[in-house]
Every structure is written in structure tokens, then in C-alpha cells.
Amino acid sequence: MSLGLGLIGTGFMGKAHALAYRAAEAVFGDVPPVRLARLCDTPVENARRYATQFRFDVATDDWRTLMAAPDVDIVSITTPNALHKEMALAAIAAGKHVHCEKPLALTIDDAEEMEAAARAAGVRTMVGYNYIHNPAITHARRLISEGVIGKPVHFRGWVDEDYQADPDLPWTWRAKRADAGLGALGDLGCHLVSMSHILMGEIESLIADTQIIHDTRPLPDGSGRGTVENEDTASAILRYKTGAQGTVCTSRSAWGRKNKLDWELHGTKGMLTFSQERLNELQLYTNDGPKSQQGFRTILTGPEHAPYDSFCPAPGHQLGFGDLKTAEVATFLRAITAGTDAFPSFTDALEFERIIHAIDISAREGRRVTL
């Protein structure tokens, strides 16, 4: 049985979704084939051009028509953040499975409404946290669960990029809360929170601070300057339900950083470290053996670290962003076939977003927030 895909959006993430859905069956073999049924974008000329490029059957500029189409089983939403809620609710109401990019919504109230609607309808959902599908991350979780580094006691993570570092960069919708929601937290910090969650477990409380580095930016039409309403950087001190502690920091104005999603996880017997800019490597230190021989060792992902083996039979040949998106799609397709929940679903993503909004609340109100 094949599944029909309706894709909304043709930007970077739209292309990533199109390629991943085309590749999933060929790469993994145990997922149902996907028909690239309908593609939506505006203007319609864009939709037609990319429908030809991506090999979709039908192009449209009306996403409501796509939702109602009987040949669409899965709706993939890769639009700007402000459109996620309306589109996802419409897809759910039409009985479609929904694959939505992060962040799920602009506000916690909106995210809760989306999650409740999906749960009530019984449709399957997936949110685009593809970094946690990395074989290196899966292996890190395995090492932690096997007690290789002992009891996890501290997590330190940061995720930085420089796409908003230039003060002369024009104002865009990303600077407006009504269109983007949170700033660095919603765009970058949520990825770090997802890592923290799967490695360390649930957060009990946090205290945080944020800052807007560039208060205004030049308007694109040259008519003046627009106000930046959301954070450029954010930092938080975390307390986990296990009693462990941690820190997370994020910046969208860090010159030289392109996708610096790094973390260290300290245990009672050793530690793990990871950097997204070197996403095929995991660093492990264990406090055993002769002191003269102790040190960090690099674990280079290979066929022993599923699902790397589905892509390549040889270690050291490297996976990339698109491969992680393909692994994410395969996870979703298996869940649809089995009638089970995928990870991360709307329910899981809601928990991630509770954290980033708690960081925002703590910073604005100057207090510790309990989750």
C-alpha cells in the first residue's frame, strides 16, 4: 500500500522533505512507498516549477484544496511558523497524518490545541527534529542506558549560528512575535532542548535570561527601521527530575558559527561530547584503565550504529542533514503503518516547547519556573 504526500512549501525544508520522502523506501526497504501527490506554494508558478523538479503529480497554490484531496494521506508542513497551526488543524480535521516542521506553534496555547486535536482524531504526527535521528545520538543514548559513563549528573549544551549577527541585515518576519513566536529559542534552542530531553530526561525547573542584541533592523523597502521583538540569545540553568543539573545557551548572532549544536554530558564514570558540525563523531571518556592511557576517544559512526548501515556499508563515509531527514521520515512511515505513535510526535514536541517558553517566561519575569 502506498501513501500519498501533500507538501506545503518549497524552500530549504520543503526540498528536504520532498527528497526524504522520495528516498525513504529505497534507503530502508521496510517502509511503504510514497506517492508525491500534491505540492502547494505561492505563486502558482513556483508550485508548478518545483512540482516538476521534485516529481509531484499536481501543483497548486491553494493549501485547502490539498487538504481535501483524497489522494493525500500525509500533509507535510514546511511553511513559516505562523501558518503551522491553521494548516495542521485543517489537515487533522480532514483525517490526514501530519508532518510539521518545528517549532510546532507560536504559543503554548496553540501547540496544546494542535496536540489535543491530533490525539482526539487518532492521526499520526511527526515534528521535524531530525538531529535526534542521528546514529551518533542513538549510540550516545545506548551508552548512557548501559551505564558506560555511570549516572548522568550534568548536561552542558549550546547551539549557535550567525544568520542574525550582522546588524545591517534587513528586518524580516523572524523578528516579529506574531509571525515567528520566539527568536533564537524557537529556531535553534528547541533542537538543543530535544537533545537534552532524550539524553537526560524531563526538566523539573529552570531559571533563565535572554537578550535582544540588535533592537532594530533596516526595513527591506528602505522606509526606516523595524523593531526586533524576540531574543537573539538565551541562557538557562536547568534542574532535572533525576536531580541532575545543566545549562543551555543559544544565539542566532554568534559570528562564525554555522550550526554549532554542541553538548557535553557528564557522568559519575565518564562523559560524552558531541558537535553537530561534526555530526558523524561522538567523543567518549571513561575513567578506567591505566591513568597514563586515559583520554577521549573518537567513535566514528559506521554500519554498527543504526541506521547508518541503511545508507552506507562503510564507516567514515559520512551522513548529512538530508540523510537524517530521511531517517526521520522512515520513522514516521513505520509509525503510520503500525498504527503507533512516532517520535517526536506533537505530544513530544509540545513538551520541548514547554521548555523554551518556560525559558522565555523566566527571563521576562525574573523568576525560576517549575515545569
**How far apart are alpha carbons 59 and 78 in whole angstroms?**
16
The residues of the chain that CATH labels 3.40.50.720 are 3-130
Tens-digit pLDDT string for the chain (371 aa): 899 999 999 999 999 999 999 999 999 999 999 999 999 999 999 999 999 999 999 999 999 999 999 999 999 999 999 999 999 999 999 999 999 999 999 999 999 999 999 999 999 999 999 999 999 999 999 999 999 999 999 999 999 999 999 999 999 999 999 999 999 999 999 999 999 999 999 999 999 999 999 999 999 999 999 999 999 999 999 999 999 999 999 999 999 999 999 999 999 999 999 999 999 999 999 999 999 999 999 999 999 999 999 999 999 999 999 999 999 999 999 999 999 999 999 999 999 999 999 999 999 999 999 99
Amino acid letter for position 253: S
**How far apart are alpha carbons 294 and 344 in whole angstroms?**
37
**How far apart are alpha carbons 297 and 225 in whole angstroms?**
50
Which grid cell sits at 211? Answer: 537578550
Q: Pick from 135, 105, 136: which is nearest to 118 by CA? A: 105
CATH entry 1.10.150.130 includes domain 3-130:
no
Q: Is 313 exposed, middle or buried (0-12, 13-18, 19+ CB in 10 A)?
A: exposed
The residues of the chain that CATH labels 3.30.360.10 are 132-370
**How far apart are alpha carbons 183 and 58 in whole angstroms?**
35
What's residue 105's pLDDT?
Answer: 95
**How far apart are alpha carbons 246 and 236 in whole angstroms?**
8
- Let me know: does 302 contact 308? Beta carbons within 8 Å: yes
Q: Write out the CATH class of domain 132-370.
A: alpha beta
**How far apart are alpha carbons 346 and 307 in whole angstroms?**
23
- Let me know: does 75 contact 99? Beta carbons within 8 Å: yes
Positive or negative torsion for Cα 144, 147, 151, 156: negative
